[in-house]
Amino acid sequence: MKVSVIIPSYNCAPYLPDAISSVLQQSYKNLEIIIVDDGSTDNTEKTVETFLGRIEYIKQVNQGVSAARNTGMKMATGDLVAFLDADDTWFPEKIAVQLEIFNRHPDIAGIFSDFALCDKNGKVTHEGFVTREYHIFNYYKYTWERIFPNHEKVTLTTNGNSTPFSVFYGDVFQSLYVGNFIKTSSFIIKREVPGTVGYFTPERRTQEDYEYWLKIASRYSFAYIDSPLLCTRRRPNQLTSKSEIFDIVNQSLEVIETIGINNIGRLGKDIVARRLTDKYQKLALIHISRGNPKDARECVRKCIKWRPFHPRNIFLLLLSCIPSKITETVYKFLKQKRRL
């Protein structure tokens, strides 16, 4: 099968060659590489010149990562579509391993994997990072056995080497609604998926991937390979500002509220209520830290609608009435404890 690899890039010229090279070095060779330059102002165009002939390159006016991925998906001619961020890199067997799982489970529409963490120079600093990255594991205490209904041990032979893998598969819609656990650069989907569920929401500048995974999961089953097949890079100046945290929480809330209400029968009212209450409480705390107690109380009002007797509602109401210096300290403490 032919695999189309979509790499959106915005001012990532220093890292893009590593990403492209990691695709060219895949043991599986039937690949189509599509670089979508989303209006970069650095030297991205010159950087990709050495790869022309082996890649498809298109430059568009800056519209955001969702629009860039959509452009690439509409250009794709492969049987499968894989996503790779411009500052991440794949390990050489990534595609080969995922294709073997597709062969074993033809009813699966999407496959993702664990990933390693690397520094700005591409050096691996942490192996198997997925359970440390996502809130669903450290806050909700989910495990892969709880997320997926099925589990098997698989030994795959790639490049002459036999390697054992744990593979989880099945319907994950309800679990994914509780929290994201899919790294975009690890995900590969069948080409039929966009024709059924559509594309990324172009106006969404954050949480666009999570929203799209939920849309797919509402119709299809996924598989997870419990082994790092790529490295995701931590770059300098990637610290998330308070305004960015607000945007992330707010956009996430829009996603889970819409999907939760539209699928409340399938997801279950208790799960939707808990998810929305948790998110509104986080948003309330951010409003308090930004000196917006009125907005915080409006969030608490919505929490009460979903879970009227939750004790944290009272805590947030009290917090919205005390001096901002104290609330700032509380906000920093909760953020350090990964309650945000």
Q: Specify the number of domains making up the chain.
A: 2
Q: Residue 239 carries which DSSP code?
A: P
Task: Quick: pLDDT tens for 240-255.
Answer: 566 788 999 999 999 9
The domain boundary, picked from 204, 233, 262, lies at 233
Same domain, 226 and 266: no
Same domain, 191 and 246: no
Same domain, 97 and 55: yes
Same domain, 258 and 216: no
Question: What integer pLDDT is reported at residue 327 of this predicted model?
Answer: 66
CB 27 within 8 A of CB 158: yes
Distance CA 94, CA 22 (A): 10
Same domain, 91 and 165: yes
Tokens for 119? 């520094």
What's 132's domain CATH number? 3.90.550.10
Task: Quick: pLDDT tens for 191-214.
Answer: 999 999 999 999 998 999 999 999
The domain boundary, picked from 233, 260, 286, lies at 233
Same domain, 273 and 181: no
Q: How far is C-alpha 253 from the chain's CA centre?
A: 15
Tell me the residue range of the domain where 176 lies: 3-233
Same domain, 51 and 192: yes
Same domain, 246 and 142: no
**Chain position carrying tokens 């452009």:** 71
Q: What is the pLDDT along the chain (340 residues), one digit of tens a residue?
A: 999 999 999 999 999 999 999 999 999 999 999 999 999 999 999 999 999 999 999 999 999 999 999 999 999 999 999 999 999 999 999 999 999 999 999 999 999 999 999 998 889 999 999 999 999 999 999 999 999 999 999 998 766 778 899 999 999 999 999 999 999 999 999 999 999 999 999 999 899 999 999 999 999 999 999 999 999 998 766 555 667 889 999 999 999 999 999 999 999 999 999 999 999 999 998 998 888 999 999 999 999 999 999 999 998 998 888 766 666 676 677 666 655 5
Q: Which of 311, 316, 309 is nearest to 330 (CA)?
A: 316
Tokens for 68? 């860039």
Question: What integer pLDDT is reported at residue 6 of this predicted model?
Answer: 98
235 three-class SS:
coil
Beta bridge partners of 31: 3
Same domain, 76 and 51: yes
Same domain, 229 and 273: no
**Chain position carrying tokens 């509220």:** 257
Cβ-based neighbours of 18, under 8 Å, separated by 6 or more: 89, 122
Beta bridge partners of 165: 154
Beta bridge partners of 59: 37
Tokens for 19? 């990403």
The domain boundary, picked from 199, 233, 267, lies at 233
Same domain, 222 and 263: no
Distance CA 287, CA 302 (A): 14
Same domain, 184 and 222: yes
